[in-house]
Amino acid sequence: MSNHLAIATVTAALMRYLQSVVGAAVGNAVVTAVRPDGPNSGVPATGVNIFLYQATPNAAWRNQDLPTRRPDGSLAQRPQIALDLHYLLTFYGDEALLEPQRILGSAVAALHARPVLTREEIRSAVAALPFLSSSDLADEVETVKFTPQPLTLEELSKLWSVLFQTPYVLSMAYDASVVLIAADGQPSMAQPVQRPAIHVLPSVVGLSPAAPDALPGLQLWLRGDADAEYTASGAISAWRDQSGAAHHAVQPTANRRPLLVRGVINGRPALRFDGVDDCLAIEQLTYTTAGAISGLTLFALLRTTSAQAQTLISFDRGAYWEAGLTGGVGAGRGRWSTQPQVGATHHLDSPGPLNDGLWRLVCMRFAAGATATKQLFIDGVLVATADAHPGQNLGNGATRFGFVGAASQANVFNGAVAGDFFRGELAELVLYHRALSDDERDRVEQYFVEKYG
């Protein structure tokens, strides 16, 4: 959590980030952060202006700090508010030289390629501005991510006519999410112990938890409590990748979207798939080369009661790999399917079913050249191993795009699926393009335990 300077720090860091790119597009372009009320308001003659026009509570993080007080009224933990910041970027320059359009292109390209404010950028912005010296945004657990927001002509008209009352200039809206601001109060100490009860246990030094982005090789990170686009009914159109690689999971068809359901696991939300046709296509993540995969690690936190064959995430089990659950006889067992460069698809199943309505943490790991190339962990326990595809990497060379919630057979983005739709709830999904070590896997599993209980 960060203090009251977090909002201003986000704006300052965004200014520094954009300044580093727009100057390359147009030599004299500068970045400002003033109210765009016209040429005398301080907006640049050439450049981009950043204006924060609204801040709204973040729906996924709302009330996550409750309860903040004990029954006697004393403070148990610091209250926090989670905000989404809504920015309007306006672009200025010589229209004859298309400078506003060139600056717009450079800005959106940069924010699309890397939509996350790094901790180093935040610290640099704080160091450059004395009035932000006590900002601790760089230490916030959540990183701040920028998402473009298309405004209708009516919304733009209202924005410019009501807020600015000045002629329209080329502009684009972005949301920054999420900013966690904590109150300054300090929780009171617990009451002294009146009667000690001491139990002696063997000493075990555990590994410290590691958030998925603390380890190298993170390729995809989807969280129910993080950035997502959804309708008033909770239908998810885009589940934003938190890895920084922009591998977002999207569904353009309205009646095939999973639902965001709140408070289903330790007070946190998850995505509910209907098992009929709900699925999400993964952007900008595809396999095209035989033997492309020498290692990978997948974590998925899920709950289901369905006996049908189901898919969690797939890049075509007959071409690269797929994680899911079995149907038919022995239904509900975790299944880890992989396809080598040459030979038959291999399936590694858990010995027991997972469709018992309990939340299950599934981890699947592949390491070419290891004694046991495939391993399957359930709730932190190794339940199945196999020495599959000895001497081979994964992938037969077909072009395949991925899906969450359906069996992929797609050779184009959002292409064909083979059914096996997931029916249940998915709280978090993490993918690395390498095999994590046992210590690394333990640390990520500890992250799930501490977060979800």
Give the CATH number of the domain where residue 256 resides: 2.60.120.200
Residue 87 has pLDDT above 90, yes or no: yes
Tally the domains of the chain: 2
444 and 316 assigned to the same domain:
yes
Q: Is residue 188 part of a domain?
A: no
* Number of neighbouring beta carbons within 10 Å of residue 146: 22
The Cα–Cα gap between 259 and 376 comes to 28
The Cα–Cα gap between 79 and 234 comes to 26
Q: Is residue 138 part of a domain?
A: yes
Weakest mean pLDDT among 45-59, 86-100, 154-168, 423-437: 154-168
50 and 110 assigned to the same domain:
yes
Asked if the bond preceding 67 is cis, omega within 30° of 0, the reply is yes
- Where residue 184 falls among pLDDT bands split at 50, 70, 90? low
Q: Is residue 390 part of a domain?
A: yes
161 and 224 assigned to the same domain:
no
172 and 315 assigned to the same domain:
no
Question: What pLDDT does residue 165 have?
Answer: 79
161 and 229 assigned to the same domain:
no
- Where residue 62 falls among pLDDT bands split at 50, 70, 90? low
Q: Is residue 402 part of a domain?
A: yes
- Where residue 70 falls among pLDDT bands split at 50, 70, 90? low
221 and 178 assigned to the same domain:
no
Structure tokens at 249: 């999971």
Q: Is residue 205 part of a domain?
A: no
Global pTM reads: 0.58
**Among residues 182, 207, 234, which one ends one of the domains?**
182
Pairing mode of beta strands 145-149, 171-182? antiparallel
300 and 446 assigned to the same domain:
yes
- Where residue 203 falls among pLDDT bands split at 50, 70, 90? low
- Where residue 428 falls among pLDDT bands split at 50, 70, 90? very high
Question: What pLDDT does residue 103 have?
Answer: 96
Q: Is residue 203 part of a domain?
A: no
Per-residue pLDDT reduced to its tens digit, 233-282: 899 999 999 999 999 999 999 999 999 999 999 999 999 999 999 999 99
178 and 235 assigned to the same domain:
no
330 and 373 assigned to the same domain:
yes
Q: Is residue 199 part of a domain?
A: no
R_g of the chain, CA atoms, integer Å: 24
229 and 172 assigned to the same domain:
no
- Where residue 210 falls among pLDDT bands split at 50, 70, 90? very high
79 and 142 assigned to the same domain:
yes
**Among residues 158, 182, 206, which one ends one of the domains?**
182
- Where residue 73 falls among pLDDT bands split at 50, 70, 90? low
Q: Is residue 391 part of a domain?
A: yes
Residue 183: what are its φ and ψ, rounded to 5°?
-70, 160
- Where residue 156 falls among pLDDT bands split at 50, 70, 90? confident
Residue 453 has pLDDT above 90, yes or no: no
Per-residue pLDDT reduced to its tens digit, 105-114: 999 999 999 9
Residue type, 74: S
Residue 10: what are its φ and ψ, rounded to 5°?
-60, -45
Question: What pLDDT does residue 242 have?
Answer: 95
Q: Which domain holds residue 93?
A: 6-182
Per-residue pLDDT reduced to its tens digit, 5-42: 999 999 999 999 999 899 888 989 999 999 998 777 88
**Among residues 127, 161, 182, which one ends one of the domains?**
182
389 and 283 assigned to the same domain:
yes
Residue 72 has pLDDT above 70, yes or no: no
Residue 190 has pLDDT above 70, yes or no: no
